[in-house]
Amino acid sequence: MIKVGIIGATGYAGAELVRIIQGHPEAEVVWYGSRSYVDEKYSSVYGNFFKIVDAKCMDDNMEELADAADVIFTATPQGLCASLVNEEILNKVKVIDLSADFRLKDVSVYEKWYKIEHKAPQFIDEAVYGLCEINRDKIKGTRIVANPGCYTTCSILTAYPLVKEGLIDPDTLIVDALSGVSGAGRGAKVANLYCEVNESSKPYGVTNHRHTPEIEEQLGYAAGKEIVINFTPHLVPMNRGILATEYATLNKKDGKLPTAADVMAAYEKYYKDETFIRLLGDGVYPETRWVEGSNFVDIGFKIDERTGRIVMMGALDNMVKGAAGQAVQNMNILFGLKESMGLESAPCFP
Q: Which of residues 160-219 bind its own copies (CB under 8 A)?
A: 174, 176, 178, 180-182, 186, 188-190, 192-204, 206-207
Q: Does residue 86 interact with its own copies by CB under 8 A? A: no
Task: Please give the Cα distance from 172 to 238 (Å, whole number).
Answer: 30
Choose the catalytic residue: 81, 132, 150, 154. 150
Instruction: Indicate the residue among 189 and 253 with the shorter CB distance to its own copies.
Output: 189
CB 279, min distance to its own copies, A: 9
Q: Identity (one letter) of the amino acid at 41? A: K
150 labelled catalytic: yes
Backbone angles phi, psi at 299, to 5 degrees: -130, 130
By the 8 A CB rule, do 12 and 192 touch?
Answer: no
Q: Does residue 25 interact with its own copies by CB under 8 A? A: no
Among 57, 52, 44, CA closest to 8 = 57
CB 163, min distance to its own copies, A: 16
171: Cβ contacts below 8 Å, ≥ 6 apart:
227, 228, 229
Q: Does residue 273 interact with its own copies by CB under 8 A? A: no
Task: Please give the Cα distance from 326 to 103 (Å, whole number).
Answer: 14
Q: Does residue 106 interact with its own copies by CB under 8 A? A: no
266: Cβ contacts below 8 Å, ≥ 6 apart:
161, 162, 164, 165, 167
Helix axes 325-334, 12-22, angle to 10 degrees: 50
For 240, the 3-state DSSP assignment is coil
Q: Does residue 285 interact with its own copies by CB under 8 A? A: yes
313 to 332: interface string for its own copies, x by CB under 8 A: x-x---x-------------
Q: Does residue 52 interact with its own copies by CB under 8 A? A: yes
Determine the distance from the C-alpha atom of residue 101 to the mean position of all C-alpha atoms in its chain, rounded to a whole number: 13
Q: Does residue 51 interact with its own copies by CB under 8 A? A: yes
Instruction: Indicate the residue among 101 and 246 with the shorter CB distance to its own copies.
Output: 246
Candidates 123, 298, 321, 329: give the one binding its own copies (CB under 8 A).
298
Q: Does residue 54 interact with its own copies by CB under 8 A? A: no
Which whole-number Å values give the CA distances from 39 to 13, 34, 44, 67, 188, in the listed order?
20, 9, 11, 20, 21
Residues 212-271 that bind its own copies (CB under 8 A): 228-230, 232, 234, 236-241, 243, 245, 247
Instruction: Indicate the residue among 46 and 102 with the shorter CB distance to its own copies.
Output: 46
Q: Is the link from the previous residue into 237 a cis peptide, with omega within 30 of 0?
A: no
| Dihedral, 198, 211, 124, 110 alpha carbons, nearest 10 | -100
CB 69, min distance to its own copies, A: 21
Q: Residue 84: which H helix or E strand, with range? A: helix 80-84
* Beta-carbon count within 10 A of 151 CB: 27
Instruction: Indicate the residue among 143 and 278 with the shorter CB distance to its own copies.
Output: 278
Q: Does residue 26 interact with its own copies by CB under 8 A? A: no
Q: Does residue 146 interact with its own copies by CB under 8 A? A: no
Instruction: Indicate the residue among 92 and 234 with the shorter CB distance to its own copies.
Output: 234
Paired sense of beta strands 309-316 and 242-249, if any: antiparallel
Task: Identify which range of 63-71, 76-84, 102-110, 278-286 contacts its own copies by CB under 8 A.
Answer: 278-286
Instruction: Indicate the residue among 73 and 276 with the shorter CB distance to its own copies.
Output: 276
Task: Identify which range of 79-87, 105-113, 265-273, 300-308 contacts its own copies by CB under 8 A.
Answer: 300-308
By the 8 A CB rule, do 58 and 35 touch?
Answer: no
Q: Does residue 47 interact with its own copies by CB under 8 A? A: yes
CB 337, min distance to its own copies, A: 18
Catalytic (active-site) positions = 150
